Amino acid sequence: MTDETPDTTTNQPPLRPEAEVLAEARRRSRRSFIGLGLAGLAGFGGWRWLFSEPNDEGIPHRVRKVLDANAQLSHAYYKQTRLAPEFARSRARTPRKNGTYGLKSELDPATWRMRVQSYGSDTTQEFTLADIQALPKVQIVTELKCIEGWSVIVHWAGARLSDFLAKYPLATRSGRPADPLNPPADLAPYAAVDTPDGKYYVGLDMDTVLHSQTLLCYEMNGKPLTPEHGAPLRLVTPLKYGIKHIKRIGTIAFVDTQPKDYWAEMGYDWDSGH
Ligand SMILES: Nc1nc2c(c(=O)[nH]1)N[C@H]1C(S)=C(S)[C@@H](COP(=O)(O)O)O[C@H]1N2
Ligand SMILES: [Mo]
């Protein structure tokens, strides 16, 4: 973040560190809550704006309730219908190397494994990159949006996380496959995804896990991922901001409670959708 040099070849605006954006959002929220009308809050854009705010300070209780109701509506909508826009491959560019938490130690791709803890048990199963690459290869050209205020169209390739969970049914207690169109009743509500060293971590709700554009990604713009962009395997989930696209996946655990999330702990909203 702050230690990164902007990539001048892609002609992007100067970097705004996440921490700086966060501080500004806090100032803005304090100043503008009083002047904000309820009508605005209840509007479709209103809830999104508010939910992008880092904290609840100063939100009257009743307003909070309206917001929660709106969030539930939008959640249902998102679940059933939303896809991130896709673009022509010719528009794909190389994104910044942004964020190095959990990437600082050396990693040998030959000995790397993705360790998955199945729902309702302590057992973990290990997967090689070849296991992931044996699943259907899915390619999407979508926008990577960072909360710092930049976005880049990127061509990603990998396996759908939902295809992985259909083949390896680790997200249900019963061992039933996690069919996104007909989710079993004993499906885990959340997944926790961490780097191998545990220094970066994201939490995902199950709608996001099973979304058709959520990939266990191993290629960027037609080439294997480089270490800076998350080799050997990263998450891509284009309805969420970049902060959820965890690079260098180490472990996935299917769990009952909302998992800890690196940037949510710093004050961003846990969902981080856009
Ligand atoms: N392990 C890890 N993954 C991470 C981060 C990080 O610091 N560590 N930063 C996130 C952020 S804030 C963004 S915007 C994207 C950027 O991905 P890129 O470096 O491939 O552009 O990675 C995300 N994944
Ligand atoms: Mo980001």
Give me Rg for the CA atoms of the chain. 19
What ligand has the least distance to the C-alpha of 3?
Answer: 1
* 120 and 225 part of one domain: yes
Query: Are the C-beta atoms of residues 243 and 234 closer than 8 Å to each other?
Result: no
Residue 171 sits in the same domain as residue 61: yes
Cα–ligand 2 centroid distance for 172 (angstroms): 31
Tens-place pLDDT, residues 79-121: 556 999 999 999 999 999 999 999 999 999 999 999 999 999 9
Q: Would the pLDDT of 67 be above 60?
A: no
**Residue 97, ligand 1, Cβ within 6 A:** yes
At 179 the pLDDT is: 83
Please report whether residue 5 resides in a domain. Answer: no
Q: Shortest CA distance to 52 belongs to which of 77, 76, 24?
A: 24
Mutate to test the pocket of ligand 1, among 98, 216, 223, 240 (most ligand atoms within 8 A of CB): 98
120 and 79 in a single domain? The answer is yes
- The answer on 135 and 221 residing in a single domain is yes
Same domain assignment for residues 38 and 144 = no
Residue 55 Cβ < 6 Å to ligand 1:
no
Separation of CA 95 and ligand 1 centre (Å): 10
Render pLDDT for 132-169 as a digit per residue (tens, 0 to 9).
999 999 999 999 999 999 999 999 999 999 999 999 99
Q: Is residue 75 part of a domain?
A: yes
Which ligand has the minimum distance to the alpha carbon of residue 249? 1
Question: Structure pTM?
Answer: 0.78
Count of structural domains within the chain? 2
- To the nearest 10 degrees (0 to 180), the angle between helices 61-81 and 44-51 is 100
Residue 129 lies in a domain: yes
Measured in Å, residue 242 CA sits from the centre of ligand 1 at 6
Which residues does residue 124 pair with via DSSP β-bridges, in sequence order?
117
Closest listed residue to residue 46, CA positions, set 59, 57, 21: 59
24 Cβ contact partners less than 8 Å away, ≥ 6 residues apart: none
Question: Does residue 128 share a domain with residue 193?
Answer: yes
Q: C-alpha 255: how far from its chain's center?
A: 17
Residue 173 has pLDDT above 90, yes or no: yes
Domain enclosing residue 168, as ranges: 55-97+111-255
Choosing from 104, 245, 251, 268 the residue with most ligand 1 atoms within 8 A of its CB, the one to mutate for a pocket test is 245
Ligand 2 mean position to 37 CA, how many Å? 30
Note whether 159 and 47 are same-domain residues.
Answer: no
Q: Where does residue 267 fall: left (phi above 0), alpha (psi -120 to 50 degrees), or beta otherwise?
A: left
Are both 46 and 61 inside the same structural domain? no
Specify whether 73 is located in the same domain as 42. Answer: no
Residues 34 and 115 in one domain: no
Does some domain include residue 244? Answer: yes
Ligand (nearest to CA of 244): 1
Does the Cβ of 99 fall within 6 Å of ligand 1?
Answer: yes
Query: What is the average per-residue pLDDT within 193-219?
Result: 98
Which residue did the predictor score with more confidence, 196 or 60?
A: 196
Task: For ligand 1, say whether the CB of 240 is within 6 Å of any of its atoms.
Answer: no
165 and 41, same domain (yes or no)? no
Q: Do residue 87 and residue 153 come from a single domain?
A: yes
Q: Give the closest residue (by CA) to ligand 1 atom 8.
A: 101
- How many whole angstroms separate alpha carbon 160 and alpha carbon 214? 6
